DNA sequence: TCTAAGCGACGAACGGCGTTCGTGTCCAGT
DNA sequence: ACTGGACACGAACGCCGTTCGTCGCTTAGA
């Protein structure tokens, strides 16, 4: 079935040479269409019509490939320069953008969840800008940095959770959402009066309601940040040692 | 080196028979001492002086074992009955307890991050109680359920992030925290003026500062929840259709 | 007390993963 | 035209989760 190579249909390397760029792009294509579980070295190599070993000339290991993928995804989320008058809108926008690009590649958030610090140029840049926006809103550097850490942590976790709905895990047979959901419902029904709230609200949790849930979270975050900023304004000398704004 | 079995030193099955209980306990011991990466079927079986195949008589697969481990860990986090007067303290306590028990078994949070819904009796019970506490604070069922979802999501993600510090990932050579941190620092220094905030605050992020960061997050959550409750009180007919409290 | 049945336990093996090694192949510079 | 060196790659290694067929013990009934 394999067309034999000859001088006439060569196209071995000169045409499509391997590169970091092509490997990352191909991996992202597979991720978007087949899910994170399908992204492995053999599968990526196969899509590039080569062997798995060839990838290691351009990527040191799979973890590095994953982080390169993540950075390219984050590249698609723009972060504005801080505007003190619109800081709450800006921080909401940034969070929303991050979730948007990450859910477009379901499972990519897991990569970031498995690193301690921001990784890659785009991640670093976004974090820096977010701190700047929060400082523009009246938070101290310390507060801004810690709040940014918290916001990004939530954003990642939310994007990761979202991706559970699009590509279910294959590990368990009952990971088809409806099936396991049914099991849990039956369990809760077995204890009458024990789970009134959950039985009442379980239909609120699905892929469709995700935007609504995220909106509530952002709303709460903004309220919390505003609270911090207001408290700083009350006694600025106490909480804002590094605060330079007027 | 192996002492041969005879009638005199038998202790084959009658003494230490396998059971779900023993398997989960052993797995948790390995988790606590060697990290999540070390918990695999062969290792657990070895600790029980048996073969990996024997475990499958008591747990259907590794995912189920992981979820059983998670449930036993969550069992250690008490959840109080709702007291309307202390609802903010109560919700803070619950979050803190959850993080405490999860960080005692580093990496267990990942299991929960990989499931869509709460899993296991204790997880369900804790979620139910949290909703109840928030309702006691003046939130609608819908708000309480969604806020609980958000709070638990953050708690899990935080616990997972914490566990990164205790057992570093082995995948990358530079996952020794100090080493990678140094690389990132050098990268940021290569762009003077681009990362003023992060260079200033990077030493704020370590395992030691984790409690402080978590406290700030909880503080913000409480502020956000209070804001929601206050807004409901302003126009209760609008946002609290299912609100039954006075 | 003997025996047969049934079930828990388990060694061995399968397929899939990330990764490495040694060999093969092509291209650029002389 | 030749050759050195970088790139590419098939094959293999070790580890993982999981399954299969068998073996040996325990126990209920005669």
Question: Does residue B109 surpass a pLDDT of 80?
Answer: yes
Do B105 and B223 share a domain, yes or no?
Answer: yes
Do A31 and A124 share a domain, yes or no?
Answer: no
Query: What DSSP string describes B63-88?
Result: HHHHHHHHHHHHTTS--PPP-GGGHH
User: pLDDT at position B180, please?
Assistant: 84
Do B20 and B140 share a domain, yes or no?
Answer: no
Q: Is B190 contained in some domain?
A: no
Q: Is A70 contained in some domain?
A: no
Which nucleotide in the DNA or RNA is closest to residue B64, CA to C1'? D17
Q: Helices B20-34 & B62-74, crossing angle to 10 degrees? A: 80
Q: State pLDDT tens for residues A136-184.
A: 999 999 999 999 999 999 999 999 999 998 876 555 555 566 778 888 9
The mean pLDDT of B200-211, rounded to a whole number, is 93
Q: Is B187 contained in some domain?
A: no
Q: Is B88 contained in some domain?
A: yes
CATH of the domain at A220: 1.10.357.10
More confident residue, A18 or B174: A18
User: pLDDT at position A199, please?
Assistant: 95
H helices, E strands: number in chain A: 12, 0
Using the Cβ of B238 and the Cβ atoms of chain A, whether some distance falls under 8 Å is answered with no
User: pLDDT at position B15, please?
Assistant: 43
User: pLDDT at position A3, please?
Assistant: 36
**Three-class secondary structure assignment of B6-54:** CCCCCCCCCCCCCCHHHHHHHHHHHHHHHCHHHCCHHHHHHHCCCCHHH
Q: Choose one of B59, B94, B112: the last residue of a domain.
A: B59
Task: Tell me what the pLDDT averaged over chain A comes to.
Answer: 87
More confident residue, B119 or B148: B148
Using the Cβ of A144 and the Cβ atoms of chain B, whether some distance falls under 8 Å is answered with yes
Q: Is B7 contained in some domain?
A: no
Using the Cβ of B149 and the Cβ atoms of chain A, whether some distance falls under 8 Å is answered with yes
Q: What is residue B218's three-state secondary structure?
A: helix
CA of B53 to C1' of D23 (A): 14
CA of A56 to C1' of C21 (A): 13
The mean pLDDT of B13-28, rounded to a whole number, is 79
Q: In chain A, what residues touch B219 (CB-CB under 8 Å)?
A: 224, 228
The mean pLDDT of A123-144, rounded to a whole number, is 97
Q: How confident is the model at residue A12 (pLDDT cuts 50, 70, 90)?
A: very low
Q: Which residues does B3 contact at the CB level (< 8 Å), separation at least 6?
A: B9
Whether nucleic acid strand D comes within 7 Å of the CB of A170, the answer is no
Residue B96 CA to chain centroid, in angstroms? 11
Check A225 against B220: CB less than 8 A apart: yes
Using the Cβ of B197 and the Cβ atoms of chain A, whether some distance falls under 8 Å is answered with yes
More confident residue, A16 or B116: B116
Do A142 and A50 share a domain, yes or no?
Answer: no
Residue A89 CA to chain centroid, in angstroms? 20
Q: State pLDDT tens for residues B152-201.
A: 999 999 999 999 988 765 555 555 667 788 889 999 999 999 999 999 99
Q: What percent of chain B has pLDDT over 90?
A: 76
Query: What is this structure's pTM?
Result: 0.89
Do B124 and B212 share a domain, yes or no?
Answer: yes
Minimum-distance CB partner of B153 among A141, A158, A169 = A158
Determine the structural domain holding residue B154 and report its residue range: 79-172+207-246
Do A20 and A134 share a domain, yes or no?
Answer: no
Check B184 against A156: CB less than 8 A apart: no
Question: Does residue B151 surpass a pLDDT of 90?
Answer: yes
Q: How far apart are CA A39 and CA A67, in angstroms?
A: 13
Q: What percent of chain A has pLDDT over 90?
A: 76
The mean pLDDT of A15-43, rounded to a whole number, is 90
User: pLDDT at position A93, please?
Assistant: 97
* Total tally of structural domains belonging to chain B: 2
Q: Which of residues 19-78 of A touch strand C (CB under 7 A)?
A: 39-43, 52-53, 56, 61-63
User: What residue has token string 């700047």?
Assistant: A132
């Amino acid at each position: 079935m394999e067309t034999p190579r000859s001088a006439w249909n060569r196209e071995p390397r000169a045409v499509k040479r391997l590169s970091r760029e092509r490997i990352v792009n191909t991996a992202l294509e597979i991720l978007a269409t087949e899910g994170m579980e399908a992204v492995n070295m053999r599968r990526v190599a196969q899509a590039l019509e080569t062997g798995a070993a060839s990838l290691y000339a351009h990527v040191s290991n799979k973890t590095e490939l994953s982080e390169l993928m993540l950075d390219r995804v984050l590249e698609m989320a723009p972060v504005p320069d801080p505007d003190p008058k619109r800081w709450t809108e800006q921080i909401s926008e940034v969070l929303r953008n991050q979730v948007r690009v990450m859910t477009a590649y379901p499972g990519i958030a897991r990569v970031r969840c498995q690193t301690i610090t921001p990784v890659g140029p785009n991640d670093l840049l976004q974090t820096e800008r977010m701190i700047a926006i929060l400082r523009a809103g009246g938070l101290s550097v310390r507060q801004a940095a810690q709040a940014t850490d918290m916001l990004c942590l939530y954003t990642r976790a939310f994007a990761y959770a979202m991706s559970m709905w699009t590509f279910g895990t294959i590990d368990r047979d009952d990971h088809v959402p409806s099936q396991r959901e049914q099991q849990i419902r039956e369990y809760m029904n077995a204890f009458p009066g024990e789970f009134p709230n959950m039985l009442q609200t379980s239909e609120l949790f699905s892929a469709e309601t995700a935007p609504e849930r995220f909106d509530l979270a952002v709303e709460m975050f903004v309220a919390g940040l505003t609270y911090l900023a207001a408290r700083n304004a009350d006694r600025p000398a106490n909480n804002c040692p590094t605060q330079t704004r007027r």
